[in-house]
Amino acid sequence: MADNARADAHPVAGVGVTALLVAAARAIEASRPDALARDAYAEHFVRAAPACADWPLTADQVPDGDADPLWGRLGRFFGLRTRVFDDFLLRRATEGGRQVVLLGAGLDTRAHRLPWPPGTTVFEIDRQDVLAFKRSVLDALDAVPRAERVAVAADLRQDWAAALVAAGFDPARPTAWLAEGLVPYLPPGAERELLATVHAHSAPGSALAYEVKQGVDPVEARDYPIYAAARERIGVDLLALFSTERRPDSVAELTELGWSTAVRGPFDFTRLYGRGPRPAEEDAVAANRWIFGALAPGRPSAPDPLLDPPGQP
């Protein structure tokens, strides 16, 4: 069938397979009674990729539960990250930022699964092959977005802003920007260019959230349980995908441009929500940091989710 052909053509390699890894993690998270986030579409992406046929899709298919480094610990981390950024975007939309841009949207279905306020537009930027695979799966499910969804095929290492504007994005309107799981894969120059482009297209009142990794030694971390499990069980060397060049101080650079910022780690949100991964030895999760920024006016201080938490589900 045509949909299966498109799924077979999806490049299950490198960064492409990490999108499927996150989709499987979201499916597992959704099956938990205490789920941090629920994505009813996630399992269908994994089922549509034959190379992932033996991956678990529910928590009861993970024999060691949270103790499993790949589908337990890393999976729960992805569930936590999904929830944190869901809450960030919904709060921004509720406060008037009805223009949302997902940079490197991958297989996330926020346009379909979140309760967006009326008038919200969600722009999803990613490579054409990723968007085509995503469309084939969602179309087969007759999935209907809960906001206006605009897919923008562009390479984030090139001039993606022109394609975004051509698709209807208005840089004069406040925007909520999200780069989830993207920046660690970019070389430093591309990270700087990405954030400079976001700033150049952000009206006052805009907000930004993105993820970085700090202090990762690829030699020391190679045998950390999460990285070893990903290599051995699904054939993905996550460390090899991350840029090892010295990272820029993007928080300082945003501050110089007039953004207020807050920097938080995953365990801060484990405490906030009362569930999620907790500190452990030889921990790949501990290096992740989530950056939240706001461009005044409208929110002169940093949009810190820990100081202004959402209601519990």
What per-residue confidence (pLDDT) applies to 299? 54
CA 37 to chain centre: 13
pTM, two decimal places: 0.92
Q: Where are any strands of DSSP class E within the chain?
A: 99-103, 121-126, 148-153, 175-179, 207-213, 259-264, 288-295
Tokens standing for residue 244: 């090892």
Asked if 19 and 27 count as a contact pair (C-beta separation under 8 A), the reply is no
Q: In whole angstroms, what is the distance from residue 156 CA to residue 173 CA?
A: 21
Q: In the chain, helix, strand, coil percent, each to 5?
A: 45, 15, 40
| Residues in CB range of 65: below 8 A, 6 or more apart | 59, 72
Give the model confidence (pLDDT) of 50-79 as tens digits: 889 899 999 999 999 999 999 999 999 999
Side chain identity, residue 177: W
Lowest-confidence range among 34-48, 164-178, 224-238, 298-312?
298-312
- Per-chain mean pLDDT for the chain: 89
- Sorting pLDDT into bands at 50, 70 and 90, what band is 146? very high
What confidence score (pLDDT) does residue 312 get?
A: 41
Structural domains in the chain, CATH included, are 2-295 (3.40.50.150)
